[in-house]
């Protein structure tokens, strides 16, 4: 059975588990959700009216919070699971495409590859979006998540040999990309969020799955402690030397490129297939949509804006840049991590 499985309808999945109604577990999660929700701190939302803070992380009240609670309470990982972990707008779409193409390179030809007709998010579903159906997926399962490492259950981080691939990006680019993306998804009845508002919220850590710096440091520290389980990548390095990073990715995932493959240009073919220029110009990514829930339906074209390094500086003032740089220096002090290539 192919590991390529289009993203299923999450509303259906929320009611079924291997074809059976799993009302008990659904009810248990919903009861816990309703119990804690009224008492959670609130902050201004980017895409929704507000975010809530749960276990130190800011989440959308319905979709993300329920998904996290489900994962923490009920998800059963396998030792062969591979998770692509990202903070929103750090290169998630690109990393999904590269990983899927690398792992499945002997299964699909480049001329009729699934990525030519399916958005990358349809090849690697979000763990917190579609939890119930995952037992039916073949091993090794390729899944993605925005959940911070510190909030993942021990069954994923300690008790199993699951592997994680994480990518970080300069916070200035993350902020601007996130602001532009979320405003496209913001309901018409809510006024657009200004760059100044988004900047203040981001600096305070009030953004989806934020604070950003905490999210990055969680996976960074895990990569230092267990490098065989967590591969830590930088968006800027991927842009600068994509072929080098793809080779590292293949090695880490247990799918190393042979000398013959390298000499035949397989790595370069994968880079070309998954490039921003190629994916953004495909018809599926111009006209189709991704349905995460009945409330969250995203035009595929919104996943492809510029894909450039340093574009955040085109929007931020000198004062904004200075403040984010100062926060970054303070947050990363002593960690050994430096953003950029």
pLDDT in tens for each of the 341 residues of the chain?
Answer: 333 333 333 333 333 333 343 667 778 888 899 999 999 999 999 988 999 999 999 999 988 999 999 999 889 999 999 999 999 999 998 999 999 999 999 999 998 899 988 878 888 888 887 655 677 788 889 999 999 999 999 999 987 889 999 999 999 999 998 998 887 878 889 999 999 999 999 999 999 999 999 999 999 999 999 999 999 999 999 999 999 999 999 999 999 999 999 999 999 999 999 987 888 776 766 766 666 655 666 666 566 667 787 888 999 999 999 999 999 999 999 999 999 86
Place of tokens 């998010």: 121
Q: Is 227 exposed, middle or buried (0-12, 13-18, 19+ CB in 10 A)?
A: exposed
Does residue 97 lie within any of the structural domains?
Answer: yes
> Of the listed 146, 215, 255, 302, which one is catalytic?
146
Does residue 231 lie within any of the structural domains?
Answer: yes
Q: Is 277 exposed, middle or buried (0-12, 13-18, 19+ CB in 10 A)?
A: exposed
pLDDT confidence of residue 4? 38
Give one word for 18, left, alpha or beta, with left for phi > 0 and alpha for psi -120 to 50.
Answer: left
pLDDT confidence of residue 304? 62
* Cβ-defined contacts of 156-160 (< 8 Å, 24+): 156/75, 156/77, 156/81, 156/83, 157/222, 160/77, 160/78, 160/79, 160/81
pLDDT confidence of residue 196? 97
Domain count, the chain: 1
Contact predicate 95/167, CB 8 Å = yes
pLDDT confidence of residue 12? 33
Give the 3-state secondary structure of residue 299. Answer: strand
pLDDT confidence of residue 2? 36
Does residue 60 lie within any of the structural domains?
Answer: yes
How is 266-286 classified by DSSP, letter by letter?
Answer: HHHHHHHHTSHHHHHTSTHHH
Domain, as residue range, for 315: 40-332
Does residue 17 lie within any of the structural domains?
Answer: no
Is 146 noted as a catalytic residue in this protein? yes
Give the 3-state secondary structure of residue 207. Answer: coil
Does residue 139 lie within any of the structural domains?
Answer: yes
Contact predicate 157/219, CB 8 Å = no
CA–CA separation, 235 vs 238, rounded Å? 5
Q: Is 20 exposed, middle or buried (0-12, 13-18, 19+ CB in 10 A)?
A: exposed
Place of tokens 């929704």: 48
Tokens of 139: 């091993």
ω into 140 cis (within 30 of 0) = yes
Tokens of 287: 């006209």
Does residue 35 lie within any of the structural domains?
Answer: no
pLDDT confidence of residue 208? 93
Does residue 292 lie within any of the structural domains?
Answer: yes
DSSP 52: E
- The CATH number given to whatever domain includes residue 269 is 3.40.50.300
Does residue 1 lie within any of the structural domains?
Answer: no
pLDDT confidence of residue 133? 67
pLDDT confidence of residue 287? 67
Contact predicate 97/110, CB 8 Å = no
Q: Is 2 exposed, middle or buried (0-12, 13-18, 19+ CB in 10 A)?
A: exposed
Contact predicate 98/268, CB 8 Å = no
């Amino acid at each position: 059975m192919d590991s390529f499985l289009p993203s299923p309808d999450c509303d259906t999945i929320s009611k079924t588990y291997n074809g059976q109604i799993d009302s008990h577990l659904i009810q248990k999660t919903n009861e816990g959700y309703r119990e804690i929700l009224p008492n959670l701190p609130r902050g201004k939302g980017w895409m929704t009216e507000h975010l809530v803070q749960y276990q130190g992380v800011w989440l959308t009240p319905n979709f993300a919070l329920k998904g996290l609670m489900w994962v923490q309470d009920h998800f059963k990982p396998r030792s062969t699971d591979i998770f692509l972990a990202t903070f929103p707008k750090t290169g998630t779409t690109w990393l999904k495409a590269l990983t899927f193409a690398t792992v499945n390179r002997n299964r699909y030809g480049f001329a009729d590859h699934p990525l030519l007709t399916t958005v990358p998010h349809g090849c690697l579903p979000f763990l917190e979006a579609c939890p119930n159906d995952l037992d039916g997926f073949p091993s090794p399962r390729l899944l993605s998540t925005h959940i911070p490492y510190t909030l993942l259950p021990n069954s994923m981080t300690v008790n199993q040999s699951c592997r994680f691939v994480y990518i970080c990006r300069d916070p200035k680019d993350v902020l601007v990309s996130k602001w532009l993306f979320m405003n496209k998804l913001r309901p018409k009845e809510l006024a657009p969020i200004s760059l100044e508002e988004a900047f203040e919220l981001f600096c305070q850590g009030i953004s989806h799955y934020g604070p950003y710096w905490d999210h990055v440091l969680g996976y960074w520290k895990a990569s230092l402690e267990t490098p065989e389980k967590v591969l830590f990548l930088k968006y800027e390095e991927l842009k600068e030397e994509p072929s080098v990073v793809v080779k590292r990715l293949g090695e880490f995932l247990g799918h190393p490129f042979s000398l013959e493959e390298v000499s035949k240009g397989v790595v370069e073919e994968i880079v070309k297939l998954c490039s921003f220029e190629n994916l953004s110009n495909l018809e599926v990514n111009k006209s189709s949509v991704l349905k995460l829930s009945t409330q969250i339906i995203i035009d595929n074209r919104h996943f492809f804006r510029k894909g450039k390094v340093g574009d955040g500086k085109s929007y931020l003032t000198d004062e904004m840049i200075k403040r984010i740089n100062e926060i970054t220096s303070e947050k990363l002090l002593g960690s050994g991590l430096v953003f950029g290539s």
